[in-house]
Amino acid sequence: MLEDPFFDESLVGIDFSHAASKKSRDEIEDVAFITIDDLDEECADKALFRYKVIKLVNKRLNGGWTKKNIEPIIYELYNEGVIDKKPGWQSVARWNAKYRADKDLLSLVDMRAIKNNFCDFKFFSKDTFFWDAIEKKYLTRVRGSVATTYQFYKDLILVHNNENPDDKFVAVGRSAFYDRVKKLPPYICDLKRYGKRYADKNYRLINSFTKSTRVMERVEIDHTALDLILLDDNLNVPIGRPFIRKV
């Protein structure tokens, strides 16, 4: 059995099962969840720096992720010029615990800085009960109503809280739930509820253009995501797909 490179003996006994129990969400995950390349440069750099630190500390660590073991390593890395700033040992231990739970670079991003087109990332994407209800009731060919989906959402949480009295989850209100549904990608909603033919027809744009009378009166720009994944030169971790721009 291979040893986990991020094993932390000081965290043995802590239950990370809830964070690790993310379900596959097919197309929804592709469009409704941000990736590291969706972030601005500052947020992405912070996440990569934190990953770099826990990776380097782990290589030199002898024992648990404690102050006694981590602090000297941080000073060594800083004095050697490997890192340009010295994070606190508690921050490094926390970053490691977060990354161990999710195995995702986004777990190392400052959540206060994240906003995407659909919702607040911290409270929306982590609500697995919401996604379970959406997948099983709303995004189906049965086309359940939002009200029915919300009731199913509350039932899921009720069952969870009855079975886990020490790990209770508080459901969002009806208006907040409806607001989340409104922020789902409309094309994906129609695709799941009505089928591809309906969705393609509903979102196909056919417009007539006014005939141009001079050079550069009308300009078209196209952004195409390439079927490539870029890797960070130093950390060798995926940072997203590149785009080609045509003008």
Contacts of 93 (CB under 8 A, 6+ apart): 8, 10, 65, 66, 70
What is the CB neighbour count within 10 angstroms for residue 148?
Answer: 14
Task: Give the 3-state secondary structure of residue 222.
Answer: strand
What is the CB neighbour count within 10 angstroms for residue 158?
Answer: 12
Question: Counting every residue, how long is the chain?
Answer: 247
Each domain of the chain, given as residue ranges in start order, spans: 9-114, 127-202
For every one of its 247 residues, what pLDDT tens digit does the chain have, with 9 covering 90 and above? 344 444 444 444 444 444 434 433 333 333 334 456 555 677 778 888 999 999 999 999 998 999 999 999 999 999 999 998 899 999 999 999 988 887 777 778 776 555 443 334 334 556 788 888 998 999 898 899 999 999 999 999 999 999 988 888 888 888 888 888 888 888 888 888 998 888 878 776 555 556 778 888 877 777 777 878 888 787 777 777 787 776 5
Identify the helix (H) or strand (E) that includes residue 93. helix 89-102
CA neighbor of 145 nearest in space, from 153, 137, 157: 137
CATH of 127-202, one of 1.10.287, 2.60.60, 1.10.10, 1.10.4160: 1.10.10
DSSP string, 194-208: H-HHHHHHHT-----
Count of alpha carbons within 13 Å of 116, Cβ hemisphere only? 21
Whole-number Å distance between alpha carbons of 134 and 129? 9
